[in-house]
Amino acid sequence: MAEFSAAQAVAAGTDFAELRVSDAGLLWNELRPADGACRLWLWRDEQAHCLTPDGFSVRSRVYEYGGGSFCVGTGEVLFVNEADQQIYRQPLQGGAPQRVSQDTNSRYGDLHWHAAVLLAVEEHHAAQVVHRLVAFVDGQRQVLAEGADFYAAPTLSGDAQRLAWIEWSRPAQPWSQTRLMSARRGADGRWQTPRCVAGADRPQALQQPRFDAAGRLCCLSDLNGFWQPWGECAERWQALPALAADHAAAPWQLGACTWLPLADEGFVATWFEDGFGHLGVQREGHTAQRFASAYSRFRSLALDQQHLYAIAASPSQLPCVLRIRRTDGALRVLAGGGSPLPTEHISLPQPLTYPSGGAIAHGFFYPPHRGRGPAPLVVFVHGGPTSACYPVLDPRIQFWTQRGFAVADLNYRGSTGYGRTYRQALHLRWGECDVEDACAAVAYLAERGMIDPDQAFIRGGSSGGYTTLCALAFSKVFRGGASWYGVSDPLALGRVTHKFEGDYLNWLIGDPHADVERYRQRTPLLHASHIEVPVIFFQGELDAVVVPQQTRSMLDALRANGIDAQGHFYPQERHGLRQAANLAHALGAEWRFYCQILAELP
């Protein structure tokens, strides 16, 4: 077999998001790396049809990370256009999109349609960034809620008489402390004063509110240690029967759907066990009925009378739109899936649980496809940092294993999927326990003869780039590393970052004024002289999260110390490279960079 190239690895990165069921069929959003555009597809008459015309891309940028970019109305789809962040409507039978919103200073996301009402989160940019919950009725905009710092997940009850949403106030993050709010419609048709259903008296992170068939308001809460379904019961808020596991990941993006109440009691959900995703139905007094056991991650659940739908992926299959018959669990892949490699060439994830810093850390180990004896290692550090990696086929991991490298994909302490306590472990310890876990993974694998500790590298994007730079500055474990749009100066990041993450650093490190010394101790740029190994950087010039000057400052500091530091800047990229040519270039450049380092080892 010919070598698996960087271009092939990137081309295999087609992904899906946000399934929606309608009378006309199933819709989904599809991202293809070839042009970086997101397009809506409709599954109808047993085949898929692309709805999005040239010149449009369906993507929200609310909170910078977007989500909830479309919903289905009556005979039409309503979506956020990436270029202008305005809402458009388009007939499901085809036709040109027509603009709905008229405020060019606002962005929209988390769209929800019910009973001829379009709900949305609005992000207005003026002297300050202001968020509101709004509705569009007959094309007219109405403000439903304002005053909180952030809003998410607006939804209406089946009879349209109750409105629910999530909100939170600074300095909280959506995975640390939020409130579930609800308002009832009065006899005059106006919404009455909202009340807080959960989150006012007992701090908890709530997400994904739903009304069940009986009109009861339910929501995921981590009050008992995991994100599990809770619901109203005789004016009380109580846990529903559920497995002791996270039923969702951190809500970095809007519009997530990882659980849905069923009309006949119980709910369908996905949950995590040892980092692996599971899908099934949970009912009181019954063992969970599981579906699609060959898959290990599920997102964007949707239901109709006969089928359950999900975006799913497995250790040997790329993301796909999966249809599951509810009566017997029979599967059909509607889009995506497959593999760019023969099954026998795929390196499968092995659960990795190891001691670190007096605690336990998690991740997945991918052995090299070829080669004997201890292998060179690349440690992958995910972004967030309150996020996670998943045991699914990632062509970019396979790019490395095909070339004789082992990969350790880490869910360091602070990652999601292992409960609230594990997720909160990063509080005030960013740059410490994540670095400890990266270094401990190398030692653990080396002790078992699985890797060569003298040939270990570390790479990460965004906050993962920060962990990478900290590991290179504050340890001598790695021979080199790669920072993909990574943070090198947390204080500088705090001065220019967007509202959504405006207080995140206070939670991760501390108050910038009261804890100045702690920041100094954990700022890679101030300790660039401690980095004695080569580093390569990749950066988008339009990045509003980690601005390009951060990367240039780190490059200059390393070069001033005589360190081999390379920088690659991409003019049309934002936070996270999306264009196929740029992704392929960066991946190939990183591999050649490590090969050069290995060739120079004594």
pLDDT tens string 72-122: 999 999 999 999 999 999 999 888 999 999 999 999 999 999 999 999 999
Say whether 199 sits in a helix, a strand or coil. coil
Instruction: Report the distance separating Cα 401 and Cα 273, nearest Å.
Output: 25
pTM for this model (two decimals): 0.94
Q: Which domain holds residue 113?
A: 1-147
Task: State residue 14's pLDDT score.
Answer: 85
Question: What one-letter code names the amino acid at 69?
Answer: S
* Domain of residue 73, CATH code: 2.120.10.60
In a domain, 218, yes or no: no
> Which residues in the chain come in under a pLDDT of 50?
none
Gyration radius of the chain's alpha carbons: 24
State the pairing for strand pair 375-381/406-411: parallel
In a domain, 185, yes or no: no
In a domain, 52, yes or no: yes
Helix axes 433-447 and 463-474, enclosed angle (nearest 10): 70
Q: Which of 91, 86, 92, 193 is nearest to 136 (CA)?
A: 86
Task: State residue 139's pLDDT score.
Answer: 87
Q: How many CB atoms lie within 10 A of CB 307?
A: 17
The answer to whether the CB of 416 falls within 8 A of the CB of 379 is no
**Would you call the peptide bond into 171 cis, given omega within 30 degrees of 0 as the criterion?**
yes
* Domain of residue 522, CATH code: 3.40.50.1820
In a domain, 370, yes or no: yes
Q: What are the tokens at 323?
A: 């249809």
Task: State residue 1's pLDDT score.
Answer: 55
The answer to whether the CB of 271 falls within 8 A of the CB of 230 is no
In a domain, 293, yes or no: no
Q: Nearest-5° angle of CA 499, CA 504, CA 508?
A: 165
Q: Nearest-5° angle of CA 381, CA 385, CA 278?
A: 80
In a domain, 280, yes or no: no
Query: Considering 99, 115, 147, which residue would you say is the last residue of a domain?
Result: 147
Query: Considering 99, 114, 147, which residue would you say is the last residue of a domain?
Result: 147
In a domain, 308, yes or no: no
In a domain, 318, yes or no: no
What is the domain count for the chain?
2
pLDDT tens string 156-175: 999 999 999 999 999 999 99
Instruction: Report the distance separating Cα 99 and Cα 437, nearest Å.
Output: 49
Query: Considering 119, 147, 175, which residue would you say is the last residue of a domain?
Result: 147
Half-sphere exposure of 448 (CA within 13 A, CB side): 10
Under DSSP, the state recorded for 143 is E
3-state secondary structure 16-62: EEEEEEECCEEEEEEECCCCCCEEEEEEECCEEEECCCCCCCECCCC
Instruction: Report the distance separating Cα 411 and Cα 380, nearest Å.
Output: 9
Bridge partners (DSSP) listed for residue 267: 261, 282
Q: Which long-range contacts (CB under 8 A, 24 or more apart) does 509-512 make?
A: 509/428, 509/430, 509/431, 510/428
The answer to whether the CB of 416 falls within 8 A of the CB of 175 is yes
Task: State residue 370's pLDDT score.
Answer: 81
Phi and psi dihedrals of 107, rounded to 5? -115, 160
